[in-house]
Chain A
């Protein structure tokens, strides 16, 4: 743990992966871990240092969600994810940087500034869990939590060369996780290996009576399940994930990785996910719609940003000033889109239609899983892009999530696993499974990682 704090001190000034470093809390938790180890009641995670994405509420610690709106917000309670990892003995070192309210694919919308990709400081680490990804990639911390609404764990994991897991919708409680799009949000892990992901998920997952959408299903012992020999899997490879939008280097790395899985007895089967091209437009209706409502509570009345001038305003001006100044441009854009698609006269044309598309995409996956055990392909169309390269063009930015959004719309578990490099930057292999197939995904990733060393590569200068 001291080693991690020391590395954070050494590297994070440049990387900007952390919004808050909670050294005092970490030292207290470490003392408790020592006591447990001495008493002989330590568990697998006792004393393991981790970081939480700053979207999870942490009692007594600022929980900013990457926004000026919550820059002054000290959460009065712990999120279920935080509570469970605490109970398992993990030590929280700090809160990681993120795109504001998880809206972004580059971590550039954060009020606290961009995070650098440890592989190349001129590129982004991806987002929205960019701080968690960079922190794990730079070996500042062995594991971190993240959230994934349209790819916000898998895309930064791919761009930063680490392992990212987005579980089935409802597998991990959303209580205490600041909502972006409630029907899509899911907490997960960013780690170096599938093995570490299994350990963290085991502690995080499970039913929570405080979240009505959490699944009341037993949590398998993932860390044991991954050691089982890999059965002869049928892997579906969606043709349309390998279209002209895919970078040649990414395509080569992913194809090679699929070949590696074949060596382990997997059968590859070409499939089509016919409606996947509709996933981005559908997502950019559903997610902003929910966000526009979820973010209404940030009004400067009870907590959060209140403009110094707001007290002289009438009520409407008070809201406009607090929200206009408290939210950044991307968040404001999505609130506007969301309010628009829900308004009378547009609801049917946008919101309802997007829900229908969502059904079609779910059906595509359901049909695919009648024939294959998992679906595999690229996580992202390209490796990490340059800082500032896409900030002027939201649609280009949104297209980054073209391969990841489908799993969110269908509520499926999915992972990104390091599988090579393109132009010196990491490439991710995405694995998508049916509902509650986390054990199978982790097992596949674990066996892949036994046979390859992409996940073990360290960014130059960080070894």
Chain B
């Protein structure tokens, strides 16, 4: 029997607000334990939550970007459970009436566009962290993260493979960073997801029993964990068993998923509307104000890069993967008369490679967009060759100066005057009579040898096109 997988994701993205969702404490990552938790975050007796308006605006922007309906009235609810890193004994979340619902986003997977439904996205507060090391058998609690605003984005079960799930997660990741509502930093836990996975015979319309994979915090882990879980479920069914509804944990070290708790052990969270918070009322004026403030979204930008700059879908996709990279590219193109395609090759190739080697983000690039634009112009005008340009780029990256300064200081300008080139060619021809004879006997492929020798003699500065022409003329004679 052939099986197909059915996958839905719940993505938790931390919103980039200055302060927490229900208190004035800061949300910066990495502060000393419990220094960014005020009495509200600590769940002291008598304190009350006050909603951070900015978090709501961010949720609205997300909703608009994913074609969701924005709820005129949404309600915060309490999710009740006991855990030491949950100070109040309940998490403030949204249950029956989320802030946005009923939208979709298009993803690109294996050259095909697929539409993934977004069931809902709701606002909630994060919990703190339990620390189980360094406390002599006891546990420590760090409540800095408690009360950090999260947007939980729930998809429809529209994905059919691990690759689609990965593509969806990347697409949403790109989007939230475009919208400026999240830094999407996965190492710091700002972007993570749970995956609901089930299988069914291909062609079936009913859903199989699903398992939930918890806390997947990298694109690779999402794809890995889902692949493994699909295989496991198929094995279970093929060996005559049935999949049981449960929560499973992905172990990246052993590359397996294991059961965390079954359906019977699932907690009853006793959700009810939080009486400390009023319903969130959003009028159309506010929605329109937020719509007007939306930036160009990744899909729109990709289309525009293809039509405006004549880029391939592949190049456009890479260049629009982050707003900062796209901005850099456009900055570079805007400063230069060189062809946009040349700029795309450099940004995707040498620049990205240099950034990766140094472990830097595009915003931290040691070669600015204007400087790269100068370099491209020098290539385009023939001042330097593409090969020399790589050395110049390297020098600028290492802080040795500007593009023109380095070209001049090192005397890298391309030799294009015919007299100088002819002199160089004559020297090389004179020094290699045997090869000259070979060429004249019909072994024309030795031309490459001569070109190489001339380039070497000119320290790479000779204009290769001209060298070719001159060589052909001289050797042919």
Asked if A and B bind, the verdict is yes
The DSSP consensus for interface residues of chain A is loop
A174→B45 contact, CB < 8 A = no
A56 → B minimal CB distance (Å): 8
Chain B, Cβ-Cβ closest to A56: B46
B267 → A minimal CB distance (Å): 10
Give Cα distance in the complex from A342 to B50, angstroms. Answer: 24
Give the contact-size bracket for chain B. Answer: 20 to 34
Task: Other than A211-B50, A296-B89, A302-B87, give 5 A-B pairs with Cβ distance below 8 A.
Answer: A57-B46, A178-B45, A297-B45, A344-B270, A351-B272
What would be 6 A-B contacts, judged by CB atoms less than 8 Å apart?
A: A63-B46, A179-B46, A293-B90, A296-B82, A297-B43, A297-B44
Asked if A315 is at the interface of the complex by the 8 Å CB criterion, the answer is yes
Encode contact with A along B87-99: 1 for CB under 8 Å, 0 otherwise.
Answer: 1111000000000
Encode contact with B along A280-315: 1 for CB under 8 Å, 0 otherwise.
Answer: 000000000110110111110111000000010001
Collect the chain A residues with CB atoms within 8 Å of residue B218's CB. Answer: none
Asked if A224 is at the interface of the complex by the 8 Å CB criterion, the answer is no
Instruction: Name, among A183, A296, A298, the residue most crowded by chain B CB atoms within 10 Å (CB to CB).
Output: A296
Collect the chain A residues with CB atoms within 8 Å of residue B277's CB. Answer: 212-213
B95 → A minimal CB distance (Å): 11
Encode contact with A along B44-79: 1 for CB under 8 Å, 0 otherwise.
Answer: 111111110000000000000000000000000010
Asked if B360 is at the interface of the complex by the 8 Å CB criterion, the answer is no
Asked if A176 is at the interface of the complex by the 8 Å CB criterion, the answer is yes
Asked if A339 is at the interface of the complex by the 8 Å CB criterion, the answer is yes
Asked if A72 is at the interface of the complex by the 8 Å CB criterion, the answer is no
Collect the chain B residues with CB atoms within 8 Å of residue A457's CB. Answer: none
A contact residues vs B (CB 8 Å cutoff): 56-57, 63, 65, 70, 73, 75-77, 79, 174-179, 181-183, 209-213, 289-290, 292-293, 295-299, 301-303, 311, 315, 319, 339, 342-344, 347, 351
A209→B87 contact, CB < 8 A = no
Asked if B42 is at the interface of the complex by the 8 Å CB criterion, the answer is yes
Collect the chain B residues with CB atoms within 8 Å of residue A175's CB. Answer: 46-48
Collect the chain B residues with CB atoms within 8 Å of residue A73's CB. Answer: 45
Collect the chain A residues with CB atoms within 8 Å of residue B270's CB. Answer: 292-293, 339, 342-344, 347
A68 → B minimal CB distance (Å): 14
Query: Known: A293-B78, A297-B87. Is A343-B268 also a contact (CB below 8 A)?
Result: yes
A79→B46 contact, CB < 8 A = yes
Collect the chain B residues with CB atoms within 8 Å of residue A213's CB. Answer: 275-278
Q: Of A75, A176, A347, which is within 8 A of B272 by CB?
A: A347
B43→A302 contact, CB < 8 A = yes
Asked if B39 is at the interface of the complex by the 8 Å CB criterion, the answer is yes
Query: Known: A177-B46, A301-B141. Is A342-B276 also a contact (CB below 8 A)?
Result: no
Chain A, Cβ-Cβ closest to B51: A212
B84→A315 contact, CB < 8 A = yes
B272→A289 contact, CB < 8 A = yes
Give Cα distance in the complex from A121 to B82, angstroms. Answer: 42
B82→A299 contact, CB < 8 A = yes
A174→B84 contact, CB < 8 A = no
Give Cα distance in the complex from A211 to B49, angstroms. Answer: 7
Query: Known: A209-B50, A299-B89, A344-B268. Is A293-B45 also a contact (CB below 8 A)?
Result: no
Collect the chain B residues with CB atoms within 8 Å of residue A293's CB. Answer: 78, 80, 89-90, 270, 272
Could you tell me which residues of chain B, from 299 to 353, have a CB within 8 Å of some CB in chain A? none
A211→B275 contact, CB < 8 A = no
A19 → B minimal CB distance (Å): 15
Collect the chain B residues with CB atoms within 8 Å of residue A182's CB. Answer: 275-276
Collect the chain B residues with CB atoms within 8 Å of residue A298's CB. Answer: 45
Give Cα distance in the complex from A177 to B45, angstroms. Answer: 8
Q: Of B80, B138, B268, B276, which is within 8 A of A212 by CB?
A: B276
B88 → A minimal CB distance (Å): 5
Give Cα distance in the complex from A213 to B47, angstroms. Answer: 13
Give Cα distance in the complex from A182 to B90, angstroms. Answer: 14
Chain B, Cβ-Cβ closest to A170: B278
Q: Of A183, A296, A303, which is within 8 A of B44 by CB?
A: A303
A382 → B minimal CB distance (Å): 31
Give Cα distance in the complex from A56 to B45, angstroms. Answer: 9
The 9 nearest A-B residue pairs measured at CB: A296-B89, A183-B275, A342-B270, A182-B275, A176-B46, A297-B43, A178-B45, A57-B46, A297-B88
Give Cα distance in the complex from A210 to B47, angstroms. Answer: 8
Query: Known: A76-B44, A210-B50. Is A296-B276 also a contact (CB below 8 A)?
Result: no
Q: Of A75, A209, A290, A347, which is within 8 A of B45 by CB?
A: A75
Q: Of A79, A289, A296, which is within 8 A of B90 by CB?
A: A296
B92 → A minimal CB distance (Å): 11
A297→B272 contact, CB < 8 A = no
Give Cα distance in the complex from A11 to B270, angstroms. Answer: 46
Give Cα distance in the complex from A56 to B47, angstroms. Answer: 11
B97 → A minimal CB distance (Å): 14
Encode contact with A along B75-119: 1 for CB under 8 Å, 0 otherwise.
Answer: 000101010100111100000000000000000000000000000
B457 → A minimal CB distance (Å): 78
Encode contact with A along B268-290: 1 for CB under 8 Å, 0 otherwise.
Answer: 10111001111000000000000
A297→B46 contact, CB < 8 A = no
Collect the chain B residues with CB atoms within 8 Å of residue A57's CB. Answer: 45-46
A252 → B minimal CB distance (Å): 39
Chain A, Cβ-Cβ closest to B50: A212
A147 → B minimal CB distance (Å): 11
Collect the chain A residues with CB atoms within 8 Å of residue B48's CB. Answer: 174-175, 210-212
Could you tell me which residues of chain B, from 252 to 266, have a CB within 8 Å of some CB in chain A? none
Give Cα distance in the complex from A179 to B275, angstroms. Answer: 11
Chain A, Cβ-Cβ closest to B139: A315
B84 → A minimal CB distance (Å): 5
Give Cα distance in the complex from A339 to B268, angstroms. Answer: 10
